[in-house]
Structure 1
Amino acid sequence: MERWQKKVAVVTGASAGIGAACAKALTAAGLIVVGLARRDERVRKLIEELPKPVQGNLHAIKCDLTKEDEVMKAFEWTEKNFGGVDVLVNNAGVIETTQLCKRNNTKEIRQTIETNLMGVVYCTREAFNSMLDRNVEGHVVIVNSVAGHQVPNLGPDLPSLNVYPATKFALRAMTEIYRQEFLKNKSKVRITSISPGIVNTDILPTEIQTVVKQFMPMLKSEDVADAVLYAISTPDNVQVHNIIIKPMGEKF
């Protein structure tokens, strides 16, 4: 991790769960971290929990990833204050409670697609061009899901995952497209998709959380953050394309 000392990382969805764990881990590893979140007050609270010597290395920016102008402003702020982005962790994601076949579900479906897909498009575009313009050896990480490899069957008694797995399958395809485009642009930027199984975070709808916590093993957010650190710490000649992490005993 020595080459990342004082480099700049942007983490989306940094207010809780995997995003918060990544922000803490990257800060502890010596990076300057810009945490993007709609609930930016939670990122500010996270800063207070860090050891005092590194509290100044984590910065909170209020940003709704579904709004392109807010994403652009966040990256402009990062460029102005720190010169650009070296690492991007696309973590923000949502699971809305609805069904694909249900009437009047447009708001929930659109929110999932706009956050899980368009948020990645906006952030990766801005981060990559920052890296390309400065000709740096950057790294883009996409926090995906095992639901992007196999659609989980939660059974008839639990809520539908609706369009969520479709967005995660799309992220897997986008990871390969990004890899190809990064090469076409003759950049030094690498990309990694990390697909965890069930993680003990608040992303799951309450009905699913209750069942999962009783009957299924779960990963900790820190387990995913460790995978992020591993991916970006590999040598320049190594392309860690995809990492799948499941808790021991996961049923799917």
Structure 2
Amino acid sequence: MDLGLTDRTAVVTGGAGRIGSEDCRVLAQEGAEVIVLDVNLDGAERVADELVEEYDATAHAVECDLTDREDVGDTVAALEAETGGIDILINNAGLVDGRGRVENFDDEIWDRDVAVNLTGTYNITREVFPHMKDREFGRIVTMSSIAGLQGGFGQVSYSATKSALIGFGKSLALEGGKHGITSNILTPTIVVGDLADLPHEQLEAIDENFARLADATPMGNLGREEDVAPLVAFLASDHAEYITGQVVGVTGGADLLYY
């Protein structure tokens, strides 16, 4: 299926990361001009260079701190002027490394995760949204998590911020519908790349929790970046113009009652 992303400009936040970089690859393969936006400029440049070399894509690496509203505002203004307009916003940036039971949780990690995962997403969306309204077109895909639906043991900051992003994305759908803007939210299970292909014994030797989660998943394995990115590209396309405000799981059935 031709997703018709040629002549569209897509910004992927956290574009240097594992899921973000795969989103960038699929969007580039579909013909979009891709802005690899990340606080890690070296990583963003590596991804952008790959897109140019491997797919003959138009791609740019942009450094931006989503927690800095002035930086975000300046960055979006520059991108709007340089590209002719941001058509697609993939809110992918987020941190998942905070761990601890609530009574022992690190306050600094809580504040950091709220600032990056939730407020950072708000900051860039707030800047991009009015331009989409003016052009009467926009596609916003926000990356939540299965932990945002079901909670995560020892993940109070991650789960809380990812849950909040669901409400955020649905609110965008309500505000954007009459302006040709769609907003959808993805809730992937844990994504582990090539580790998802390992047999149980090898996976257990690497991480017992990974093996346990794989066993509890009806499809028998954890997620891969390649499981998520094609759906991102579809929701960014004209084919998804009547799909908005939806929470879509990419879970292998991990969110089902299974025993």
TM-score scaled by structure 1?
0.84
The answer as to whether partners of 2:113 and 2:158 remain within 8 angstroms in 1 is: yes
Rounded Cα–Cα distance in structure 1 between residues aligned with 2:53 and 2:25? 13
Deviation, structure 1 residue 251? 8.5
Once superposed, what is the RMSD of the aligned Cα atoms?
2.3
Residue among 199, 216, 219 paired with 2:223: 219
The answer as to whether partners of 1:146 and 1:195 remain within 8 angstroms in 2 is: yes
Change (3 A) 1:139 1:251: closer
SS of 2:156's equivalent in the other structure is coil
Deviation, structure 1 residue 53? 6.9
The question of 1:92 aligning with 2:97 is answered no
Which residue of the partner structure matches residue 32 of structure 2?
Answer: 31
Rounded Cα–Cα distance in structure 1 between residues aligned with 2:30 and 2:68? 30
Change (3 A) 1:118 1:55: farther
Q: Specify the code of the residue in structure 2 equivalent to 1:197.
A: T
Structure 2 alignment gaps of length 5 or more: 194-205, 215-220
Q: Specify the code of the residue in structure 2 equivalent to 1:90.
A: N
Deviation, structure 1 residue 102? 2.3
Structure 1 alignment gaps of length 5 or more: 154-159, 202-208
Which residue of the partner structure matches residue 174 of structure 2?
Answer: 180
Rounded Cα–Cα distance in structure 1 between residues aligned with 2:94 and 2:50? 24
The question of 1:170 aligning with 2:154 is answered no
The question of 1:189 aligning with 2:189 is answered no
Change (3 A) 1:24 1:101: same
The question of 1:210 aligning with 2:222 is answered no
Q: How does 1:142-157 map to 2 (within 5 A)?
A: 142-153=142-153
Q: Specify the code of the residue in structure 2 equivalent to 1:88.
A: L
Q: How does 1:15-26 map to 2 (within 5 A)?
A: 15-26=16-27
The answer as to whether partners of 1:34 and 1:59 remain within 8 angstroms in 2 is: yes
SS of 1:179's equivalent in the other structure is helix
Change (3 A) 1:170 1:53: closer
TM-score scaled by structure 2?
0.82
Residue among 101, 104, 110 paired with 2:103: 101
Change (3 A) 1:212 1:49: farther
Rounded Cα–Cα distance in structure 2 between residues aligned with 1:246 and 1:52? 32
SS of 1:247's equivalent in the other structure is coil
Deviation, structure 1 residue 247? 3.0
Deviation, structure 1 residue 174? 1.4
Rounded Cα–Cα distance in structure 1 between residues aligned with 2:175 and 2:6? 27
The answer as to whether partners of 1:47 and 1:55 remain within 8 angstroms in 2 is: no
The count of corresponding residues between Structure 1 and Structure 2 is: 235
SS of 2:22's equivalent in the other structure is helix
The answer as to whether partners of 2:169 and 2:245 remain within 8 angstroms in 1 is: no
More helix by share: 2
SS of 2:141's equivalent in the other structure is strand
Which residue of the partner structure matches residue 242 of structure 1?
Answer: 247
The answer as to whether partners of 1:197 and 1:245 remain within 8 angstroms in 2 is: yes
Deviation sequence 1:169-193 (CA, Å, 0-9, x none): 111111221112224xx31100110
Deviation, structure 1 residue 56? 5.1
The answer as to whether partners of 2:86 and 2:132 remain within 8 angstroms in 1 is: yes
Rounded Cα–Cα distance in structure 2 between residues aligned with 1:128 and 1:200? 32
